[in-house]
Amino acid sequence: MARAGVIHKAEFLVTAVKPSQFPASDRPEAAFAGRSNAGKSTLLNALVRRRNLARTSRTPGRTQALNFFDIDGRFYFVDLPGYGYAKVPRAIQARWGPMVEGYLSAGRNLRAVVLILDIRRDPREEEQNLLALLDSRGVPVLPVLTKTDKISRGRRAGRASAIARALGLERPPLLFSGLSGEGLEAVWQALFEALSTEDPPTERTTP
């Protein structure tokens, strides 16, 4: 596998809404979850150094499927549908849980879920529920706080600690700015460690 942070090829593979549409589980994968306006697509694009691999939208909540990306032919990134956006119809919101449950129950070689939160926003019930679901499945969680450039440097550590306490995390989340790229190397290193281990890591944070 290429060293952490160096990607030679990243391409969209398939959009899926049920396990029968998933690609073969023949390599490690990391999934990305977060609110529809938390900066999930921005982080994905920054990780692979592509502007539009994961499409950003002016209408948060538009993507309501799982998108699989082939990364160097060695592992998958999986963009889970965004949640928590009020303007998405209730019927569509209701599909999120079963769709993600189906993914987590499909026996994938899932090494970590990157939980993406806007550093300016306090966690809500959706984040608590997602952490509980992942913990019940034994899935390691990598929390990342985005949009750090939106607040002063002096406030960042305090916000990270407060969010960690609210979610019951053992350590503060990683910080990332899509504007400056600050924190990208640390996110990549954590992902690389999770994806390159022979067996899925057993240590995880719990809510």
Ordered strands of the 29-34 beta sheet: 10-16, 66-71, 75-79, 29-34, 110-118, 141-146, 174-175
Mean pLDDT of 74-89: 77
Contacts of 94 (CB under 8 A, 6+ apart): none
Q: What DSSP assignment string belongs to 118-151?
A: ETTS---HHHHHHHHHHHHTT--EEEEEE-GGGS
The pLDDT assigned to 67 comes to: 93
What's the CATH fold of domain 10-196? Rossmann fold (3.40.50)
**Mean pLDDT in the chain?**
84
The pLDDT assigned to 91 comes to: 60
Q: Over 90: is that where the pLDDT of 3 sits?
A: no
pLDDT tens for 111-141 read: 999 999 999 999 999 899 899 999 999 999 9
